Amino acid sequence: MSEQSYVPEERPAATPTAGDPAWGTGMVAARRVSTLECFFDLVFVFTITQLTVLLVDDLSWARAGRVLLIFAVLFWMYGGYAYLTNQVPPETTARRVLLVAAMCGFLTCALAVPNVFGPDGVAFGLGFLSVNVVHSVLYALIHRQYVLSFALTNTAAAGCVTVAGWAGGGPAADGLWLAAVVLQNVTPLISHRITGDYTGGRARVSENLGALEPAHFVERHGLLLLIAFGESVVAIGAGASATPLDWSLLTDAALALALAAALWWTYFVRDEAAAEAALHRASGADRFRMGLTAYYYSFIPMLLGVAILAAGVKKSIGQLAHHLPPAPAVALAGGVALFLAGNVAFRASLGIRPRRHRIAAAAAVLGTVPLGTWANALAQFLGLVLVLVAMLIVEDRTAQ
């Protein structure tokens, strides 16, 4: 997301027509997310699905740490493309072709995820390198040499990931992945210094720093989260595929779906509209910082929470009347808690209230782990759903 310092492409504002909601109001209709961007997001979410596969194979803290590294690296470049298409929409043939090429790179990464710390590490690195190169080329079409202020560090991060693939795993590979994350996160600071205007010894950030369109930006990330929820539903089907369809399985699936629906409600009923309003109130550097904090740093735990929850569902589906091993029980509760923690950070970064009920719910869902390990899966699923429903009811009454 380091491309924030560049002047967005000048393009005429959309003029409302008689069929538009803004007709007769004097307002310009906000640009919507294109179908190609949705297609791009479908390919990217496949990486989240693959991370779920990685977790299902080994629900350990070490594996969870590696999944965090992989996702942080990938999601940084997803954020870069979300900002890119917000400022440079894919409205020409050249841009569409390049965006499809980036999708091929993300698809390569996704296919390599299950063995990224093994034989497919180099393939992942090269796929990720192509994602970075295409991103830089798309920006260079508009900003020419200024692309170097973020392309060099992003490409160096991709190089670290590729070399990690050759390392084949172990502490050296983990260190290279961590270096990639560090390089990506210092990129905005480097970008500001290269492109900032210096007056009187002080850096003045470009007025176009936060010239993103809030409606499009919020909708784009909301659709990404919605697709991730869809993948959690797919996990229900995958976990149930080898189990006879009976009342126990149907109850299990219904509770898992209710859990995903409660998380959907947590974000989409109020947060999306409130986030758009908060970004509209901000401008310039403040708007970009809010967008970065809310939709990168806060969205990482939210999306990873969905992936971890999906891994827990896949491991526990069909086990309604049985004790759960500790790992699936922790994945179920930990996934929900991580999502809520990310959502609290999301609300805090945008000034959305209340937050205390969600903090309390994040702590409460962790208390459902003994229900799964000492009682059964049914007790834990019911506990998780009840905590979320209670949280939503209390918030609704407080809002009134």
pLDDT of 112 over the 60 cut: yes
Q: Based on the fold, state whether residues 173 and 284 are members of the same structural domain.
A: no
Whole-angstrom Cα distance, residue 73 to residue 171? 17
Identify the band that residue 236 occupies on the pLDDT scale cut at 50, 70 and 90.
Answer: confident
- Is 260 within a domain? yes
- Is 18 within a domain? no
Ranges 58-72, 227-241, 327-341, most confident: 327-341
- Is 267 within a domain? yes
pLDDT of 74 over the 70 cut: yes
Q: Which helix (H) or strand (E) holds 328?
A: helix 326-350
More confident residue, 391 or 135: 391
Q: Based on the fold, state whether residues 198 and 69 are members of the same structural domain.
A: yes
CB-neighbour burial class of residue 208 (10 A; exposed 0-12, middle 13-18, buried 19+):
middle
How much is the pLDDT for 241?
A: 73
| Lowest-confidence segment of 23-32, 50-59, 207-216, 269-278 by average pLDDT | 23-32
What is the reported pTM?
Answer: 0.86
pLDDT of 5 over the 70 cut: no
CA dihedral sign, ordered 22, 24, 25, 26: positive
Q: Which residues is 204 bridged to in the sheet?
A: 197
| Residues 344 and 267 sit within 8 Å (Cβ to Cβ) | no
Stretch 277-285: mean pLDDT: 89
pLDDT of 385 over the 50 cut: yes
Q: Based on the fold, state whether residues 54 and 132 are members of the same structural domain.
A: yes
pLDDT more than 70, % of the chain: 85
Stretch 307-335: mean pLDDT: 90
Q: Closest Cα partner for 329 from 385, 382, 368?
A: 368
How much is the pLDDT for 142?
A: 66
Q: Which of 172, 204, 236 is the last residue of a domain?
A: 204
pLDDT of 238 over the 90 cut: no
- Extract the tokens encoding 181: 């994350």
How much is the pLDDT for 96?
A: 94
Give the chain's length.
Answer: 400
How much is the pLDDT for 316?
A: 86
pLDDT of 195 over the 60 cut: no
Q: Based on the fold, state whether residues 198 and 334 are members of the same structural domain.
A: no
Contacts by residues 171-177 (CB-CB < 8 Å, ≥ 24 positions apart): 173/117, 173/121, 174/66, 174/69, 177/66, 177/69, 177/70, 177/73
- Is 256 within a domain? yes
How much is the pLDDT for 194?
A: 52
How much is the pLDDT for 210?
A: 56
For 139-182, how does the pLDDT look when each residue is reduced to its tens digit (9 = 90+)? Answer: 777 666 667 767 888 999 999 999 999 987 788 999 999 999 99
**C-alpha dist (Å) from residue 30 to 170, 202, 215, 305:** 48, 35, 6, 31
State which residues form the domain around 247.
Answer: 214-399
Q: Based on the fold, state whether residues 301 and 268 are members of the same structural domain.
A: yes
Stretch 34-47: mean pLDDT: 95
More confident residue, 290 or 237: 290
- Is 269 within a domain? yes
Q: Which of 149, 173, 204 is the last residue of a domain?
A: 204
| Lowest-confidence segment of 16-30, 92-106, 253-267 by average pLDDT | 16-30
pLDDT of 70 over the 70 cut: yes
Alpha helices (runs of H) in 92-120, residue ranges in sequence order: 93-112
Helix/strand/coil for 214: helix
pLDDT of 8 over the 60 cut: no
Q: Based on the fold, state whether residues 157 and 294 are members of the same structural domain.
A: no
Whole-angstrom Cα distance, residue 292 to residue 79? 8
What's the structural domain count of the chain?
2
Whole-angstrom Cα distance, residue 312 to residue 64? 13
How much is the pLDDT for 235?
A: 78
Q: Based on the fold, state whether residues 187 and 54 are members of the same structural domain.
A: yes
How much is the pLDDT for 6?
A: 31
In the block, residue with structure tokens 């708007």: 287
pLDDT of 203 over the 50 cut: no
Q: Based on the fold, state whether residues 47 and 135 are members of the same structural domain.
A: yes
How much is the pLDDT for 71?
A: 96
N-to-C CA span, the chain = 38
How much is the pLDDT for 143?
A: 64
Ranges 55-64, 189-198, 208-217, most confident: 55-64
How much is the pLDDT for 29?
A: 55
Q: Based on the fold, state whether residues 100 and 8 are members of the same structural domain.
A: yes
- Is 223 within a domain? yes
Q: Which of 204, 236, 262 is the last residue of a domain?
A: 204
Peptide bond into 354 cis (omega under 30): yes
Displacement of CA 167 from its chain's centroid (Å) = 28
